Amino acid sequence: MNIMKKYIIQFSRFCLIGLVMSTVWGCNEFLEETDKSNFTLENYFTRPEHATSVVNSIYESLYPVMQSGFGGGPWMMLEFATGLANTELGQAQNSLFVRNLINNSDNGYGQTYWTSSYRGIANANLAIEKIPEIEMDNAQQNRLLGEARFLRAYYYFNLIRIFGNIPLITTSIDLTSPELYPDPASTEAVYNQIVADLEVAEDSGLPWRDASGRVSMGAVKSLFSSVYLTMAGYPLQAGDQYYQLAAEKADDVIQSGVFELFDEYSSLHSVEDKNQGEHIFMKQYAAFTVPSSWQVSIIPYNRGISAYSAETGGIFANQEFVESFESGDKRAEEKEFFYTEYSLESDRTTVMELGDYYIWKHFDEEAQLSTTSSGMNWPVYRYAEILLIYAEAINEASGPTTAAYEAINSIRRRANLPELENLSKEEFREAVWREKWVELCFENKTWYDMVRLRKAFNVNTREFEDYVGHEFSYGPTLRERELLFPIPTAEIRNNDKLTQNAGY
């Protein structure tokens, strides 16, 4: 089923979401009015609650890629593509296809990214069209439209980087719309739309932080900085002025004074600290209501250390990657970013050596020990990334300034590493790249950096080398085709205007 037909079916689902999210009608009002369950595009968008419900439906598309289990999880796609991750889950063929660089267009991970993103875009298009027609508080209306614009930009930013030339749809459609089978747009057109959406979001009156986890000004500026940094790199190579723009957006976040690095890495995976401190924007979860499901994937396969009945060993770090960290880096120490031992569920006084580096930075210890329901959020943007974006961008625009040194050194100080000084522009550039590879590992960031830089980190030589031709530590070699993922087979089959990416 193509993306447009999925959208049309999605509208009926959206209406159900709206009913749940909206306030209940009074009995007298219900008796006096027509049947409100018979929703159409024309009669639904009449109340402020409807505006909130349609924007809530856009957030829903953040979650499908995070689903995890014995089949792996779509979010792992971007990690295995780096060559820095491993798995014990033999039945997760989608993971193995990506890890071994034998991926194909039938991979369900790619289909999930495509479908969920376009579903979010469809609901964003609907919100952007219909919310201005609703009589409601102007400030609240603008904030909701700002959230919708941010989320549409976010979904398109992921799609354009993952799949390349994709359809650009900015209006709601039905079965009679000419956009039902859309042409792919140019890369420039998609990025121009992303920038336009973020410009509107910047002017929408959003607060710098939203403790409930909704889109904030901090999130808008963070995404904007990442977009401009990417536009400066491949494939657009739009010019050095985009490094300056990326630095300016990142500096807006820094100068706001709202965000700060956590003192300890443990706060990165503390349920109590979500949406606070270093966290700028996160995918929201709540134990026993909307619990996260990746906990089963970051524990060893059937080793008996967790209260979860499922222990999948879905993803962990390659030993060579962790051992490539600088000597003394706190992040490589036990139970900082990784763990190599844990107590047995049957006897918590007995500790098992696990033999590999499993991911601690997303580990919910309470859920693993007892509740088996995790309310831990997934980080989308955190302050450490913004500091590193600023350091990289301002170095490219102006060389290694004092502010650039402070941005990267604040992260190195937390890692118990010596501060950098007296580096050339080229040396500083690679120092920032190295810091990003370590600080942001296993947060779905590294592959995007590899593609925009056309660089990969060799864990044996501990140097950066060209992306195409880079050999993973376990054998496979990156080809040009791996600069993109394949467009899902179902989308090509149902829309003959789409062209499969080269090599697939």
Does residue 370 sit in the same domain as residue 293? yes
333: in domain: yes
Work out how many domains the chain is built from and give that number: 3
pLDDT digits (tens, 9 = 90+) for 241-254: 999 999 999 999 99
468: in domain: no
Find out whether 378 and 214 touch, Cβ atoms under 8 Å. Answer: no
Domain CATH number, residue 43 = 1.25.40.890
Does residue 270 sit in the same domain as residue 406? yes
156: in domain: yes
Find out whether 44 and 50 touch, Cβ atoms under 8 Å. Answer: yes
Find out whether 310 and 399 touch, Cβ atoms under 8 Å. Answer: no
Q: Which residue has the tokens 């467009």?
A: 487
Tell me how far apart the terminal alpha carbons of the chain are, to the nearest angstrom.
20
pLDDT exceeds 70 at position 478: yes
Domain CATH number, residue 401 = 1.25.40.900
73: in domain: no
Q: Please, what is the Cα angle at 268 between 99 and 271, to 5 degrees? A: 110
* Domain enclosing residue 39, as ranges: 3-67+96-206+486-494
Does residue 368 sit in the same domain as residue 381? no
Does residue 22 sit in the same domain as residue 114? yes
Does residue 41 sit in the same domain as residue 151? yes
Model pTM score: 0.93
Find out whether 292 and 66 touch, Cβ atoms under 8 Å. Answer: yes
Does residue 315 sit in the same domain as residue 194? no
pLDDT exceeds 70 at position 38: no
Does residue 8 sit in the same domain as residue 111? yes
Does residue 367 sit in the same domain as residue 384? no
Task: Please identify, among 375, 408, 427, the residue that sits at the C-terminal boundary of a domain.
Answer: 375
Does residue 100 sit in the same domain as residue 194? yes
pLDDT exceeds 80 at position 66: yes
Q: Which of 382, 380, 381, 377 is nearest to 293 (CA)?
A: 377
pLDDT digits (tens, 9 = 90+) for 107-163: 999 999 999 999 999 999 999 999 999 999 999 999 999 999 999 999 999 999 999
Burial 442-457 (b: 16+ CB within 10 A, else e): bbbbbbbbbbbbebbb
Q: What is the pLDDT of residue 44?
A: 82
Looking at the chain, the whole-number percentage of residues with pLDDT higher than 90 is 89
Does residue 392 sit in the same domain as residue 452? yes
Find out whether 295 and 371 touch, Cβ atoms under 8 Å. Answer: no
